[in-house]
Each structure stands twice: as C-alpha cells, then as structure tokens.
Amino acid sequence: MFESPSVPAVPLDGLLRRTAENFPERVAVRDEHGAIGYGKLDAYADRFARALLRLTGGRQTAVGVAGVLDPVFAAGFYGTSRSGNRVVMVNPLIREAALEHVFRSAGVEIALVPVETAVRLRMVRGHLPALHEVFVVDADRAVTLPEGTRPLADLLGRDGPSSAALPDPAAVDPDSVACVQFTSGTTGAPKGVQLTHRNLVTNAAQAAHVLGLDADCVCLNHLPLYHLMHLNAAVLAGATQVLCHDPDPVASFAAAADAGATHYFGLPVRLTRLAADQRLAAVVPGPKLRLIASGGSALAPAVAGRLREQLGVPVIQGYGLAELSPLSHNDRPERSKPGSVGPAVPGTECRIVDLETGVDLGTGRPGEVLLQGPQLMAGYLNLPDAPDIDTDGWFHTGDVGYQDGDGWLFLVDRIKDVFKVDNELVSPSEIERILMRDVDVADCVVADIPDEFSGATVWAGIVPAGSGPVDLRAVVERANAQLADHQRIRRAEQLTAVPRSPNGKAGRRLLREQLRDESPSPLTSRRPFRPGEPSW
C-alpha cells in the first residue's frame, strides 16, 4: 500500500556514525543543559565504546543502560553497541523487585544508571553476583553516591582517542542480538525481548518513513523516559531531538514553539490532561509544527479531536510492542482516522483471527492481532521457543482489534483485559472511552469483579474533572445509557488517580488483585479502596 523506506546496511551504532559523517555540525540532542551536535555525540559514543572495551578486556557482556531522557543515554546506548556488548534496556523508574528480575535474567555485569536507580539497585545487589560495576550517569548532580557505585567519570575520564581499537562494523552480524528490552510485565513477569541489529535499524527506517522525518525536522519529546523508537528514527533521519522534562503539557508546547518543533511526541495521559486544561485555548503550537504523535496506550478519539481543532495540526497515534522493535502501525497525518492506529508500517503484515478458532476474520470483525515483519524480535531471553510466535512465524500480540476496508487497525483491548458478563465479551477500553466523553470525568479505569451469577460485573474507577466530589451515579447513568446491558457499570468509585505504568497504561492487574482481596458488597455500599476513596 505504501512505498517502502530504504534501510541502511549498517549495525545499530552505524545509524549514529552515518549521520555524524553526513551532518557533523547539526544539533542531535538539546535539553535545558545545552545541545550536542551529531559529530560530538558520535565521539561521545566512541568514548563509551573504548572505555567499555578497556573495562571488559574485550570480552563481550551485558551492559544495563537506563533510558534516562538525557543525551548521555544516546551516547551510552550506541557506545555499548559499538563496543560489541549487548545493551540491556533499564527502565529507571522500576522498583527493586523488577530491577533484580531484569538484571538477573539478562546477566547484567555493568550498569549505567541515574542515582535514584542506583539507590534501589543497592538494595538488591546482594542477589546479583554477576553485577560488577555500577556507574552513576548523573553523579555531578547528586549530593552523595550509594555505596559500591562510581561516577560515570571513572569510566570515561581516563579514556583517550586511541586507547582501544573499536570492532570492525563490517564484521557485525546483522542478525546478532544488539539489545534486550523487557516487556512491561502488565500480564505477568517481564520477558526479555531480544532485538537484533537488523530489527532495530529496519524499524528506525520504518518509523522515520511513516512519520516523515528528515534532516530538517525538530522533534520535541515530551516523555518521562528515552524511547528507542524516537531515538533511532531521529538519528537515522538526522533530525534534532529536543528533550522536555517539564511534566506540564502547556509548558511543553511552549518549548516546542521555541525550538521550532515540526513533530511533537507525547503520552496519551498527558495529552488527555491538556485537552481538559482551561489553558488549552491559549496554547500556541508554533508555526512549524506538522503533527502531534501519541503512543504507549490508546488516545481517546474525543481527546484527539479536541486537540486537533484547537491546535490546528493532525493528532495521530501509533501502535507497537517491544517484540516489534517496537513500531508496527502508525496513523497517517494526511489520512488520519479517529480511533485508529493506522495501517501497518511498510514491510509489515497484519492478520485478525478468531480468538478461539484462529481463523482469519473479515473486515470490521474483532479478533486477535497477529503480526509479521523484519522488525520482529529474535525471541525471548532464556525461552528457546518463543511462546507467542507460531510455527508460521506470526507473532500473537494478545491484543484484540479489527481492520477496516483500507487496512487501518482499530484496537479494542488486551485479550487478558477483556472479560465475559453473561457469556458476552466486555472490553474495558470501550467503556472507558465512553466515560471519558463525560465532562465530569478527568480519567478513569474499568475492570471486572467476579460474580457468581453473571461470571463478572463491571467496575469503574473515576477521577473527577473538578477539584471536588462528583455525582458518580449521574456519570454512570449517562454512560450506561450508551452501553448494552452486559457492558453496564454495576459499581463505581471515585479515585484520586488511576494507577498507571510509566508509559501510561492502566494498572488493571493491580486493580483486579485489590478488588478481589476485598469482600464483594452491593452497588450502593461504601468500602475502603487503596487507590482512592469510594463514592458509591
């Protein structure tokens, strides 16, 4: 359907080397601390590579690199790969148990992390005998360093331009594993996704192509963490990235205008807050802004519509998973369809199959989303037979969706999130989208409560749009008027906030566990609930 992009024949770190040779003076990354050009960023990655080679004696190992929103991540990421070592992506926000799981599963021996992560890591380090060195990447901003850690300067400080010979890029097997990225763990223990050089370079080309990135683009990243897709796609294109740490979405658009941003990347939860913010009418997107792109979880069509109307630029969303490096679909700004994540990116195939029989379904019929393409992972770490890839090479995403006649994908929910009421399938996301249209609702989450007669009943947690309490009964009655009987909300509670992962996904598994831990009670009764105070 769409023209395929050109994929450079380089290893992962070759994306940076190639752009640095073509545009050495162009700004690669800018934040409130300053800017670094592609030539200097490439030299910075060389320093990491040579320092790691010196530290390991040339022996290949796993290096944990925290995805902090800072140029140091870009240099550490490409430098680790350039040294011939395997990058293990570390989410700097995860807690001790998850850190131990990631480091133990991947056999991490060297860690490059911020001080907050180093503090948590110290609590479990006794359970990680393979971990030899922990370098703190923001040591210059820390008052003290945790015991057993060293500042990044100890790794890089003594390195010179000829201290170690770098591996020959031509000798790198494009199908060797370059990076391990762990899944979010929302439906079980996080799995280590093994991504090859070919996977990541191909997906960088796919993402840059569908987003229209080139060397004249400026990308504003209003994200809590650095994401591989944004980094690799921008570096391949030679675009400038502006890192915005201010969580206020209004401030982020001011930063985008000041930077002359052409692309704005944000999270649905932040964009939803912006759409409900009274200051939205005063937001000036900047004359060069071409599109607002959302990802990580679903963006409500009503939110996208309001932002599009107010800001005057397309508001689109994409879809992907760690197993797909990560992008598989992206809506097209010139042909956007509200509620859709767009068609598959070039080179990627998508099928929709029946949840029970596995038979292919026709247009408009929801089923499990299956994907195949050159960006599909090499498999899971320590799992010889990837359980989610069938014998024909199709990856079973665990997501429910349908395609329209043009091939645009509309996601319905996660298979493990949907449930049955009176033997009828219920999608929590569908109910949440209806609730989010209500002017009294700022945020919400829907989950199931076991019921001996119907199998389950629908529960909704609602965050009021105003500062005070909300009439939940009225909100639920308005929503239920738009729902089938089996979809109707039977219990609702007022929450102060919806528990979410760093990428904005609702923590339904945690909510279900909490709901099941407490004895069931009638719809109109009050009972304690940890995320917030119940209203009815």
Tell me what pLDDT residue 142 has: 84
Instruction: State how far the Cα of 65 lies from the Cα of 248, in Å rounded to an integer.
Output: 27
pLDDT over 70 (residue 531): no
Reported as a single tens digit per residue, the pLDDT across 27-61 is: 999 999 999 999 999 999 999 999 999 999 999 99
Q: How far is CA 80 from CA 87, 167, 281, 462, 504, in A?
A: 6, 12, 45, 44, 28
Task: Please tell me the distance from the alpha carbon of residue 213 to that of residue 18, in angstroms, as a whole number.
Answer: 16
Please count the other Cβ atoms lying within 10 Å of the Cβ belonging to residue 181.
24
Strand order in the sheet with 489-494: 441-451, 455-464, 489-494
Model pLDDT for residues 283-333, shown as the tens digit of each residue = 999 999 999 999 887 888 989 999 999 999 999 999 999 999 999 999 999
Q: Is 376 left (phi over 0), alpha (psi -120 to 50) or beta?
A: beta
- Which residue did the predictor score with more confidence, 157 or 324? 324
Alpha-carbon distance of 458 to 405, in angstroms, equals 32
Strand order in the sheet with 409-414: 349-353, 367-372, 395-403, 409-414
pLDDT band, residue 466 (cuts 50/70/90): confident
What mean pLDDT is predicted for residues 455-464?
92
Note the pLDDT tens digit of each residue in 105-146.
999 999 999 999 999 999 999 999 999 999 999 999 888 999
DSSP 8-state symbol, 383:
B
H/E stretch holding 108: strand 108-113
How is residue 43 written in tokens?
Answer: 């030299």
Pairwise CA distance, residues 67 & 64, whole Å = 10
pLDDT of residue 41: 98
Decide which of 416 and 475 is more confident: 475
What residue has token string 């479990």?
A: 124
**Preceding peptide of 326 cis, ω within 30°:** yes
Domains and their CATH numbers in the chain: 30-196 (3.40.50.980), 419-517 (3.30.300.30)
The predicted model scores a pTM of 0.83
The whole-angstrom separation of Cα 307 and Cα 496 is 25
Q: Give the burial class of 378: count Cβ atoms within 10 A of its Cβ; 0-12 exposed, 13-18 middle, 19 or more buried.
A: middle
Looking at the predicted structure, is the pLDDT value of residue 420 above 60?
Answer: yes
Average pLDDT of the chain, as a whole number: 90
- Give the pLDDT of residue 173: 98
Please tell me whether residue 516 adopts helix, strand or coil conformation: helix
* pLDDT tens-place string over residues 187-245: 567 899 999 999 999 999 999 999 999 999 999 999 999 999 999 999 999 999 999 99
The confidence band for 158, taking pLDDT boundaries of 50, 70 and 90, is low
Q: Find the range with the poorest average confidence among 162-166, 345-349, 365-369.
A: 162-166
